[in-house]
Amino acid sequence: MIWTGSSPMAIAVFLAVGYLCGTIAFGLILTKMFGLGDLRSIGSGNIGATNVLRTGNKKVAALTLAGDLLKATIPILVAWRWGAPAAAAAGLGAFLGHLFPIWLGFRGGKGVATYIGVLLGFAPIGVLVFAVAWLGMAKVFRYSSLAALTATLLVPIAYLLLGNSMAAGLTAILTVFVYLKHIPNIRRLLAGTESRIGSKG
């Protein structure tokens, strides 16, 4: 990724701003607001929308998804005024903030919703690629984790084929982190013990 077109100061500022936005744990906040308890003691213990869905409250899960998505999209859209590198830095910061929030001892979510938020703010065509890949894999195999892993792998490849090298580089970095965060899921997929979509386990 070539960081040209934005000042180093703008890149640093929006990396920090994005990170702070990313640390907002909508899953934890909303489940407590709606009296659903501590999300970290439910299901997988993850703070993302997939685990919120295990509470049985689809409304709160949808709100969590929207929040985790927009906390990346909004700082990116603001940062565009200072150039594409600043916008990319905002997206990277938001994503890392979700994965490693300082307020929660750097134990955050797996980043899929925030990943989509980065796509929406930085290069929206990636949302279509992600959606098609995710829905196709989910329909066939019914594993949310497998669908997410496939979609995040295909997005940077699609950007590269479309000639958007900055988006390809940014999403390749995000994809590496998604895979690292999904190591337990990958192990369960290989062992045949991963929970399928619709399961409360």
Domain boundaries of the chain, sorted by first residue: 8-191
Q: What integer best gives the mean pLDDT of the chain?
A: 93
**Which position has the token pair 């938020």?**
117
Grade residue 1 by pLDDT with cuts at 50, 70 and 90. Answer: very low
Q: Residue 62: exposed, middle, or buried by beta-carbon count in 10 A (0-12, 13-18, 19+)?
A: middle
pLDDT of amino acid 2: 46
The answer to pTM > 0.85 is: yes
* Percent of the residues in the chain that have a pLDDT greater than 90, as a whole number: 83
